[in-house]
């Protein structure tokens, strides 16, 4: 369950976020995004991308 703000962020950023996978080496090296392993290394590679997108989103709505 998401908060209203979380829902708005997901709705605003999800497509762009998926497009960023090709620029994250830990994801891009796999034939499909879902083949990326569920590891801390993958998380550490993806988390900054999500955080940056969230920061931009917050700056736009405030």
Enter the pTM of the model: 0.81
Measured CA distances, 39 to 8, 19, 44 (Å):
27, 21, 9
Q: Which pLDDT band, with edges at 50, 70 and 90, does 62 fall under?
A: confident
Cβ–Cβ under 8 Å, residues 57 and 13: yes
What's the pLDDT at 17?
85
> What is d(CA 10, CA 19) in angstroms, rounded to the nearest whole number?
14
Q: Percent of the chain beyond pLDDT 70?
A: 100
Name the 3-class secondary structure at 47.
helix
pLDDT higher than threshold 90 for residue 1: no
Per residue in 25-47, pLDDT tens? 999 999 998 999 999 999 999 99
Whole-number mean pLDDT of the chain? Answer: 93
């Amino acid at each position: 369950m998401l908060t209203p703000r979380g829902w708005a962020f997901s709705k605003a950023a999800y497509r762009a976020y998926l497009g960023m996978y090709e620029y994250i080496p830990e994801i891009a090296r796999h034939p499909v995004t879902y083949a990326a392993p569920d590891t801390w290394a993958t998380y550490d590679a993806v988390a900054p991308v999500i955080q940056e997108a969230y920061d931009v989103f917050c700056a736009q709505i405030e």
